[in-house]
């Protein structure tokens, strides 16, 4: 029986910024989907009454949950910025190698800057994530 050709996959290609951003885009999408459980927990606690709400909010105010929310904010910022990049690609803009590498770096920098700015804004107004 003849050997069938293999499809190229992640281990065939040399690792590149665009590959990393693609992987991170998928990972942040999964993280954001899972984070909806936190929102559901909040809504359930809110609907269950003042005692449940107070318990949920005391848990949400703990440093591990605050750190998780900050990481989720970074995931959101990256996923949002990279989603805009993908929309531009769908329009045929920025597909050249040099432009794609630049946009990968730009998305990463913008995601970090947006996260820092949003965290500063949240903490300034007492609405820390």
Total-model pTM? 0.85
Residue 122: which domain range? Answer: 63-129
- What string of DSSP letters covers 1-65? -PPPPPPP-TTTSPP-HHHHHHHHHHHHHHHHHHHHHHHHHHHHHHHH-HHHHHHHHHHHTSHHH
- Residue 73 inside a domain? The answer is yes
- Residue 48 inside a domain? The answer is no
- Residue 26 inside a domain? The answer is no
Number of domains in the chain: 1
- Residue 58 inside a domain? The answer is no
What does the CA dihedral 104, 129, 59, 65 come to, rounded to 10 degrees? Answer: 20
pLDDT tens per residue across span 41-90: 999 999 999 999 999 999 999 999 999 999 999 999 999 999 999 999 99
Q: What is the reported pLDDT for 18? A: 83
């Amino acid at each position: 029986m003849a050997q069938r050709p293999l499809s190229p996959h992640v281990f065939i290609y040399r690792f590149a910024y665009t590959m990393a951003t693609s992987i991170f885009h998928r990972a942040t999408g999964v993280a954001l989907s899972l984070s909806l459980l936190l929102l559901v927990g909040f809504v359930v606690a809110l609907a269950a009454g003042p005692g449940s709400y107070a318990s949920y909010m005391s848990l949400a105010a703990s440093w591990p949950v605050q750190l998780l929310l900050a990481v989720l904010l970074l995931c959101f910022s990256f996923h949002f910025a990279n989603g805009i990049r993908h929309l531009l690609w769908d329009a045929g803009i920025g597909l050249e190698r040099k432009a794609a590498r630049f946009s990968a770096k730009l998305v990463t920098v913008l995601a970090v800057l947006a996260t820092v700015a949003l965290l500063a804004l949240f903490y300034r107004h007492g609405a820390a994530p």
